[in-house]
Each structure stands twice: as structure tokens, then as C-alpha cells.
Amino acid sequence: MNYEEIMLRAISEAEKYKYTAKPNPVVGAILLKNEEIISEGYHKNYGKNHAEINAIINANRQKNKKFNDFSELTLICTLEPCSHIGKTGSCAHAIVKTGIKKVIIGSIDPNPKVSGKGIQILKENNVQVDVGIHKDLVAKQNKFFFYRHINNKPYITVKIASSLDGKSHYENHERVFVTGDKARLDVQLLRAKYDAILTGTNTLLNDNPRMNARVNFPVNQPEKILMSTSFSFGANTSEMPFFEGKRVTHFQHNDIDCVIPIMLENDKCSILIEAGPKLTNAFLKTNYVDELIIYKSQKKLGKTGISWFKEDNAVENYGFKLESSYKIGTDLKEIYKKDEEK
């Protein structure tokens, strides 16, 4: 196998951990002696060992069997080894310490804390470094991570379920499933991809939602964010499923401009907004939203339904263009992106 093939293997194996490594990027690392794979390592869980460290640990088990000294090995890793001491040690220093003499990197890390610095540590310690094999694939598989560091903001998606006549819910808040089972299942998968889910007072109080990702595979569950001035924690709060599991961040103000930088500081690369028409429209009016997903049902809610959009603030007027549209069960999933991104 050549380096390109090995890089592709590391990228595709790393992909298996995209729901558990987030908000960290998925990373794969493979140690080779000539053409033979000696060991592999992946960043499997957020806060746990990085891929390079796992590859080194696994290689140590083969030492004096398949190889004698790390200087015989070449390390292939999908993303630049980190230079900073975060939750785990610096991978660049760990690589140097083993005596590995050649490292092939897919993409430079877009995180300014690391970008180029990991490579510098390796080069300063006489490690030969090559960069760029399948760098676009590495960026693509870590879309939210790259987006966050390049744009200095989380990737923000607004998701709504709409009736055929453009309504969100009934004015008397009678519980209604706007969309069918398959679309609701798709929402669970969508939630699993995001680092946080954000909602507002009325959705919390009227729907009493869980807002977690109910999927049949392991997930680092999205954190929950509540924007509400009127809600206060009381005796009933502990019985509300929204407050079960992951920590809830409660912003006791309505200022979206303040929420975004705090989420960035909290390592959130992606946020899914799941709220009613008031908070949804407030977000769409800002320049923060990158994507809008509408699950559109065949069902009408009629005159007593509350509209998502007033006539003059249709999605197109917010600067969104339809990118794709396909059927999910009986419903339609429409994905809109900001015009300039197309």
C-alpha cells in the first residue's frame, strides 16, 4: 500500500468515531514499517487519547517483534499532531520522544493554537514532515471543526418542522406532531451530529422536550442551551426531561450576539437551533445562521395554526437559497444555505 492508500484508510477508519469524538475532530494515525502496517490509533472519545498516542501505544506491543526501534517507522496521520498541552499531552512532543523520523500529515490543523506549530516541533527535532495528502477529505470529514476555526464562530443550523400551510403549532398549544415518524427519526440523527442544541422559553414550557439524540449508537450527547429571561430553576425543574443528562447552559437574556462568543469559548463547533417561530426568526434575522432545514409535512394546521414566517420574511428574504430537497417518508426535507456559500 502507498501513502495515499494508507491515508485513505486512516480517514475512513477515523470516521467511525465522528459521534463520540465531537466537538473534537476525528483523527486517524497509522504506523508503518516499509509497506507493512505495524499499528493504528484513532481519537475515539472526546477528552481521551489522541490518535497518534493510541498508535504509539499499540506499536509498543509489537516492539521487538515486528520492529526494533521507532526510527524504523513512518507515521501517517490525518491531521497535524497537536502542539499544545490540552486535556491530553502534546502529540508532537510524544512523537519526537519515540524517535520516529518521518511523519506524513493529511491536513494542517486549522486551530490557531496548533496550526503549523505541531509541524514546527517535529521539524525542529529533525523529523521529516510531508503535508497535504487528501487534505480536502480531512477538512470535509471535520466540517464543523474546520468551519469554527476558519470563521471564528460555530456552524449554526436552524431546524423547523412546518405544515403544508407554513405553520409551526396550534395557537392553543395543543400537542401536534407536524411531521411523520421517519422525519422525526431523521431529526434524532441530525441532533447526534451537533455539539449543542438551543431553544427558548415557550418551546421548553409548552412541549417539555428532551432534546437529546435518541439513536442506537454511542454519541457524545449535544449540550443543551436555553435562552430565557422568564424561566427560573424551581422544584419542578428536576422533573423536566430537558434538564436530564448533559449540563444545560441557561442564558438569562435575549441577546444572541452574546451567546455566540460564549459558545465558541466553550468549544462548540456546531449549534442546532430548535425553537418556535419567535426565537427562530430572531436567529434568522442575524447573520449567524449558516443552514436552515425545513421538514415539510403534507398536513395543514389551518387558521388556528401559528405561521413560521410572515409573508415579508420568507426564507429567501433572509438570504437563503434552496440547496437540496428530498422525501423522507411522507414529508419533504428541504436544506437551505446562505446564498454566498453556494
**Shortest reach from residue 178's CB to ligand NAP, in Å:** 5
d(Cα 73, Cα 151) in Å, to the nearest integer? Answer: 37
151 is a contact residue toward ligand NAP (CB under 6 A):
no
Span 176-195, contacts to ligand NAP by CB under 6 A: 178
Stretch that binds ligand NAP, among 67-75, 118-126, 168-176, 212-220 (CB under 6 A): 168-176
Q: Which is nearer to ligand NAP, 141 or 212 (CB)?
A: 212
Min dist CB 295 to ligand NAP, Å, is 7
Alpha-carbon distance of 325 to 332, in angstroms, equals 7
Residue 207 is a binding residue for ligand NAP (CB under 6 A): yes
Question: Is the distance from CB of 83 to CB of 114 less than 8 angstroms?
Answer: yes
277 forms part of the interface with ligand NAP (CB under 6 A): yes
Q: Which of 23, 28, 200, 305 binds ligand NAP (CB under 6 A)?
A: 200
Neighbours of 178 (CB within 10 A): 21
**Exposure string over 77-86, b if 16+ CB within 10 A, otherwise e:** bbbbbbbeee
Contact 16, 43 (CB under 8 A): no
CB of 148 to ligand NAP, least distance (A): 22
| Shortest distance (Å) from residue 151 CB to ligand NAP | 21
Q: Does 169 bind ligand NAP (CB under 6 A)?
A: yes
Cβ contact 72:100 at 8 Å: no
Per-position DSSP letters for 118-156, written without gaps between them: HHHHHHHTT-EEEE-TTHHHHHHHTHHHHHHHHHTS-EE
User: Which residues are designated catalytic?
Assistant: 52
Which spans of this chain sit near ligand NAP (rule: CB under 6 A)?
160-161, 168-169, 173, 178, 200-203, 206-207, 227-231, 254, 256, 274-279, 282
